[in-house]
Structure 1
Amino acid sequence: MVKNTGRPGYLQIADDLRTQIRGGSLAPGTPLPSTAQLAEQYDASLSVVKMAVGILRNEGLVIGQQGKGVFVADAGEAPAGDELADLRATVQDLSVRLAKVEEQLATSTTPRSGRSNQ
């Protein structure tokens, strides 16, 4: 079930499914429940569930097969989860550092006087 934690529901669902995949309770080749079933299980809308599954697709943890469903990817098909987590942490760190630099630039810039250099 999606909780009111301030974290978007689709991320909570993706986290839970990712944990199940990595923990082995959803083994490679296992089909995910349908979007409707997941929406009912997590008490979420279909669009929220689709976004969560989309994240897992982008991470290579699940594979969609047209007309058949979405399946847990084989370990050889999925990227290393640790590498992806490291990349996300690096991007987050760079975002924080960039925000600090931008803030410093904004506060250190003083408005010029009305004089012209003529």
Structure 2
Amino acid sequence: MVKKTGRPAYLQIADDLREQVRGGSLAPGAPLPSTAQLAEQYDASLSVVKMAVGILRNEGLLIGQQGKGVFVRDEESSESGQVTAVDLVSEVIELRTAVRDLSQRLARVESTLSERSDQ
């Protein structure tokens, strides 16, 4: 559950997932729960969860596999420090999805504000 501490929700989620990886709750090679499952678990939006997962992917703790999901990176693959084309494609897809979700949310907020100002 994300707490109302003033710290952004995506950072709180990233911190918690990072701790699970480092603490062994999420073992190397283990799949991360789906974005929808994480959103429900943390009571957060899909875009917030995607941002948190993106941070951990950038840190090299997680790796995305197109069509399969996101997994805790094995130590062997994280030691190389190399970013593959698959990593980059997955990240671009995640970013595009996050931007689309945020654009839709912004459109709803603008519409609501517009309706209120017309009254």
TM-score by length of 2: 0.65
Shift of 1:78: 2.8
Partner Cα distance (1:67, 1:77) in 2: 19
Unpaired segments ≥5 residues, structure 2: 80-119
Corresponding residue number in structure 1 for 2:52: 52
Partner of 1:3: 3
Equivalent residues, number: 79
3-state SS, counterpart of residue 11 of structure 2: helix
Give the 3-state SS of the residue equivalent to 1:76 in structure 2: helix
Structure 1 moving runs of 4+ over 6 Å: none
Match of 1:8, as an amino acid? P
Report what 1:69 is aligned to. 69
What percent identity do the matched residue pairs reach?
Answer: 85
Alpha-carbon distance between aligned partners in 1 of 2:76 and 2:18, rounded to the nearest angstrom? 16
Matched residues in 1 for 2:78 and 2:58: separation? 10
- State the partner residue of 1:37: 37
In 1, the alpha carbon distance for the partners of 2:77 and 2:15 equals 19
Q: CA RMSD, aligned part only?
A: 0.9
In structure 2, how many angstroms separate the alpha carbons of the residues matched to 1:76 and 1:4? 37
Structure 1: unaligned runs, 5 residues or longer? 80-118
Distance 2:28 2:56 in 1: 13
Secondary structure of 2:29 counterpart:
coil
1:115 corresponds to:
none
Aligned partners of 2:57 and 2:66: how far apart in 1? Answer: 14
The alignment's TM-score, normalised by the length of structure 1, stands at 0.65
* 2:24 is the alignment partner of 1:24: yes
Q: How far is 1:77 from its partner?
A: 2.6
Q: Kindly indicate which of the two structures has a greater share of residues assigned to helix.
A: 2
Q: Distance in 1 between matches of 2:74 and 2:23?
A: 14
